[in-house]
Structure 1
Amino acid sequence: MSTASEYRKGLVGPPVHPPDGATGPPPADLPEEPGGSGLPGEPRRGSLVRGLLRLVRPFQWPKNAVVLVLPLLASGASPWPAVADALPVLVLFVLASSATYVVNDLADRERDRRHPVKRHRPIASGAVPVPVAIVLGAVLYLALLAGSAAAGAAAVPVLVYAVTNILYSFVLKHVSVVDVFVIATGFVLRVCAGAMAASVPISSWFLLCVFSVCILLGFGKRRHELTSVQGEPSELHRPALRAYSVPFLNSMVTFAASVTVLAYVSFLQSDAAAGGMRQLRILLSTPLAVFAIARYLQILLVSEGGGEPTRTLFTDRTMLAVGGLWLTGFGLLLAVQSW
């Protein structure tokens, strides 16, 4: 009978556990899921449902709320009817982005298995079988098409987003710089769809602001990926990283941060920013915007964070405080304008 010391020295194979699995870890080829015992052949209740939920990444859904920004900002003292008109488009983008995550994880499952973090994704880890993921993606796309038929012209940006991101998952994500620009364009499409649904003007300055801040976050994420992967070369996990370098990405995030501030101030000065008290809006919100960007750059360049921009924006206490102050100021201005 082999001993544990012989196994550790590599002289014999792994020990065989009793059929009931009463002792020892589960076999290596069976990834253990939260809530499951890991025993061979034992159904893991709820593990597939949890895997499907993780696959569509609900923690990423809040970023689709950018659909509502122009209806809020460009509708004067009573923006709520415009916001209500834009809500169906928000739902469509949730469906489209969820379907995109499924397609992306299907396309990347082999690379994800070699990544220290992404190997825990539902498809790469085996928590969601490939056929089940394909069915889920098909259902999401069918729901998107059905909803788009009822949304009219405002659904066109959503469909463009869906098609572009299928190309992104298989081709465009492997082309440096283009990969980040495609992601940023997706947010511009969200803004356009929300404005079209609410019948409010589309501000070119606001589109530039959204595009540049997404470029900032996108290049920041690439920088984190380039510097965080240990062991294997980072380009094995994302081929586009071959054409990136830390100095180049540092330059791009600095450039994008500058453009974002200039575009935001220009938007506040434009006619597209509804209501009066233009100078007061600039004086109150510009310092908060600059501070938020400075804080993100600090997280990215000093703390070596920023790998998940959505998590950073919604978990960093400083970011949350700045966002709360901005929303409070915006709400007060709306209240004053309505008097």
Structure 2
Amino acid sequence: MYSLQSRAVAVRSRTALRDLLTLVRPGQWPKSLLVVPLVLLHPAAWTWPRPAALAGAVGLFVLASAVVYVGNDVADAGYDRAHPAKRHRPIAAGRVPVRTAVALGAALFVVLVVATAVTLPVLFAPLGAYVALNAAYSRWLKHVPVAEVFAVAAGFALRVLAGYLATGVRPSGWLLLCVFLLCFLPVLGKRRRELDLPEALRRPVLRGYSAAFLDQLLVLAAGLTVVVFLFFAHERWGARADLVLAAVLLPVLFGLCRYLHVVLVQGGGADPARGLLRDRVLLGSGVLSVVALAAAGLLSP
């Protein structure tokens, strides 16, 4: 009897730990790796201890995202309970009490503040902006059409900015705007696909969108990305920018056109990260763009 009771307690403990881990969504942690790629194209980023600072920045953004995910699930518990799929989330399903979730979020926030102060205090600004932006998103912005897409894309751009601040490498404003637009595109594509879902599975803000409107925004954002990239190239290279653009612009332009084809013609884009990895043409154009960018030394001073 004692053995059975001990086994039942152990099972409940493992289930509770699994539910708490689900709250912080480890499957989303790879998004924090956006801190790294563009900075590493800069030669100075490879000098020690900058790689360690980059790793620390990734870890801090993982912590910040965990705080945000817990807060979002607490705030959305009422809506999630009525959602056919999200009702299985730990808080909405009643497996994790709200008090426990709040305590977990508060503990993670304290760890985030202390870890930032000890390791990379320069990241207080982007981390604070990221947490504040997501708090505003959870409470208000997610119900405002277009503004909610801006908020999501800005969260990704803040990760990239954090990578530059962590290494002390000066970022370009044009580059950060280009990153923002590149992140803006897949969020728009995801919203476009969500319009195809049954009404019960749609997020409420989709009532403020139409398929035609999102299609136009996708094309506009893709065009602006190219324009901003041109400004960035001329800022970095001046008269030599033409040589760089000859090597870099074609794969970038092809990748943007391919993405529009995937979303507007093939009906893809519902899962941006998985779609990028599964579409070999899109992935290949992205790799070619990065290789060309690195070979041209576009991010060097």
Shift in Å, 1:280: 5.2
Distance 1:302 1:51, change over 3 A: farther
Q: Where does residue 250 of structure 2 map in the other structure? A: 287
Moved more, 310-319 or 194-203: 310-319
The reply on whether 1:251 has 2:251 as its aligned counterpart is no
CA distance in 1, matches of 2:225, 2:38: 17
TM-score by length of 2: 0.82
User: Which position in structure 2 is the counterpart of 1:218?
Assistant: 187
Runs of 4 or more above 6 Å deviation: none
Name which of 40, 43, 49 aligns with 1:72. 40
Q: In 2, Cα distance between the equivalents of 1:281 and 1:87?
A: 30
CA RMSD of aligned residues (A): 3.0
For residues 286-316 of structure 1, the C-alpha deviation after alignment (integer angstroms, 9 at most, x for no partner) is 2222232233223322333322323323443
Change over 3 Å in CA distance of 1:51–1:306 after alignment to 2? farther
User: How far 1:168 sits from its partner (Å)?
Assistant: 1.2
1:205-284 map, 5 Å = 205-228=174-197, 230-232=198-200, 234=202, 238-271=203-236, 279=242, 281-284=244-247
2:47 is the counterpart of 1:47: no
Distance 1:49 1:41 in 2: 12
Overall identity of the aligned pairs, in % = 41
Q: Distance in 2 between matches of 1:311 and 1:202?
A: 28
1:257–1:134 distance in 2 versus 1, CA, 3 Å: same
Matches of 2:16 and 2:250, distance apart in 1: 46
Larger radius of gyration: 1
Equivalent residue for 2:62, pick from 86, 94, 110:
94
Instruction: Say if 2:63 and 2:108, in contact at 8 Å, map to a contact too.
Output: yes
1:186 maps to 155
Structure 1 spans left out of the alignment, 5+ residues: 1-39
328 and 271 in structure 1: CA distance in 2 versus 1, 3 angstrom threshold: closer
CA contact (8 A) 1:201 1:272 kept: no
1:67-104 deviation line (CA, Å, top 9, x unaligned): 2244223x33x531344333322221111112111111
Distance 1:146 1:266 in 2: 39
Which residue in 1 is equivalent to 2:89?
121
Conserved? CA contact 1:60–1:310, under 8 Å: no
Mapped partners of 2:153, 2:26: distance in 1: 20
- Residue identity matched to 2:181: S
Change (3 A) 1:181 1:332: closer
In the alignment, the residues of structure 2 paired with residue 304 and residue 115 of structure 1 have an alpha-carbon distance, to the nearest angstrom, of 24
Partner of 2:3: none
TM-score (norm 1): 0.74
The count of residues paired between Structure 1 and Structure 2 equals: 288
Alignment partners' CA distance in 1, 2:251 and 2:140: 38
* SS of the residue 1:311 aligns to: helix
Asked if the contact 1:63–1:310 (Cα under 8 Å) also holds between the matched residues in 2, the reply is: no
Q: Give, as a single letter, the amino acid of the residue that structure 2 aligns with 1:185.
A: A
Question: Matches of 1:241 and 1:174 in 2, distance apart?
Answer: 9
- What are the ranges of 5 or more consecutive residues in structure 2 without an aligned counterpart? 1-7
**Pairs within 5 Å for 1:128-139:** 128-139=96-107
Cα distance in 1 for partners of 2:149, 2:11 equals: 41
State the 1:200 CA deviation: 1.6
Change (3 A) 1:233 1:316: closer
The 5 A counterparts of 1:18-33 are: none
State the alpha-carbon separation in 2 of the partners of residues 256 and 141 from structure 1.
34
1:159 Cα deviation from its structure 2 partner: 1.0
- Distance (Å, rounded) in 1 between the aligned partners of 2:82 and 2:237: 48
Counterpart-to-counterpart distance in 2, 1:47 and 1:291: 47
- Which one is further off, 238-247 or 82-91? 82-91
